């Protein structure tokens, strides 16, 4: 029987911190007190609500988040998807409060850092500056494909986007889609039925396979082809 000691927990934590986006901010022992705390969210649990004041940035250790608002007709509008190893919260710096609610798409662990500590550390360690600008710049490019016109185009681009953001060397073109078709539809501005139909097409054409929630991309080139707008 395994007895979990503080040491083991520590090891588990540090190993999960290796890839953390806040690594530069906390792996160093001298700085570890800056991280306010780790938060564990169950599926569908809220990280924060709409309109809540902005204080913290979050590094997503595992799991995924969505930000969303509800329109007057009661439809959920998903504004952003944030995955493992990404930093969430930048978008709220501008208005000083969160524009959207943020909810866990699955069991999710985030590391919280206060924005003021973040700024402070950034000033002490200017070599982090480019890293942060780099990561914000990356988020500026997220969701560019939402401007694509046709549904297959958007969905193909979405799959490629998520895959490049999730895939590692081990996982080779096979990854867990961390959300329901409903969520995808709300994100892409498409009905769930449309998502289902188009994915069926993709499967029929041997472009991807889906079992459970695992997507396997068989023909990346064909997907990019579709995303690029070829017919």
Of 156-195, binders to DNA (CB under 7 A) are: 180-182, 185, 189-195
Of 192-211, binders to DNA (CB under 7 A) are: 192-197, 199-200, 210
Candidates 67-75, 161-169, 194-202, 215-223; binding stretch for its own copies (CB under 8 A): 67-75
Closest listed residue to residue 100, CA positions, set 30, 157, 51, 35: 51
Candidates 48-56, 134-142, 146-154, 214-222; binding stretch for DNA (CB under 7 A): 146-154
Which lies closer to its own copies via its Cβ, residue 109 or residue 132?
Answer: 132
Q: Are 178 and 43 in contact (CB under 8 A)?
A: no
Cβ-based neighbours of 54, under 8 Å, separated by 6 or more: 89, 92, 93, 95, 96, 97, 98, 115
* Alpha-carbon span 160 to 224, nearest angstrom: 7
174-176 sheet: strands from edge to edge: 174-176, 214-217, 208-211
Which lies closer to DNA via its Cβ, residue 79 or residue 197?
Answer: 197
Which lies closer to DNA via its Cβ, residue 17 or residue 208?
Answer: 208
Q: Are 68 and 79 in contact (CB under 8 A)?
A: yes
* Alpha-carbon span 53 to 84, nearest angstrom: 24
Of 26-65, binders to its own copies (CB under 8 A) are: none
Q: Which residues bind DNA (CB under 7 A)?
A: 149-152, 180-182, 185, 189-197, 199-200, 210, 212-213
Footprint on this chain of its own copies (rule: CB under 8 A): 71-73, 75, 77-79, 90-95, 99, 119, 122-123, 126, 129-130, 132-134, 136-141, 144, 146-149, 187, 189, 228-231
């Amino acid at each position: 029987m395994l007895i979990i000691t503080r040491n083991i927990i520590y090891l588990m934590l540090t190993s999960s911190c290796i890839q953390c986006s806040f690594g530069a901010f906390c792996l160093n022992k001298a700085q570890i007190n800056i991280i306010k705390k780790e938060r564990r969210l169950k599926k569908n649990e809220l990280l924060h609500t709409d309109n809540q004041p902005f204080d913290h940035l979050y590094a997503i250790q595992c799991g995924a988040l969505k930000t969303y608002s509800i329109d007057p007709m009661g439809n959920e509008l998903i504004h952003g998807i944030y995955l493992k190893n990404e930093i969430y919260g930048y978008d709220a710096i501008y208005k000083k409060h969160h524009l959207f609610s943020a909810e866990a798409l699955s069991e999710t662990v985030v590391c919280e850092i206060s924005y003021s500590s973040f700024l402070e550390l950034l000033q002490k360690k200017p070599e982090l500056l480019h890293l942060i600008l780099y990561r914000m710049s990356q988020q500026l490019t997220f969701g560019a494909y939402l401007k694509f016109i046709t549904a297959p185009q958007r969905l193909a681009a979405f799959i490629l986007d998520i895959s490049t953001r999730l895939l590692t060397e081990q996982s080779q073109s096979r990854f867990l889609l961390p959300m329901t078709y409903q969520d995808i539809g709300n994100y892409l501005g498409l009905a769930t039925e449309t998502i289902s139909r188009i994915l069926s097409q993709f499967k029929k054409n041997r472009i991807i396979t889906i079992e459970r929630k695992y997507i396997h991309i068989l023909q990346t080139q064909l997907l990019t082809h579709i995303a690029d707008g070829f017919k």
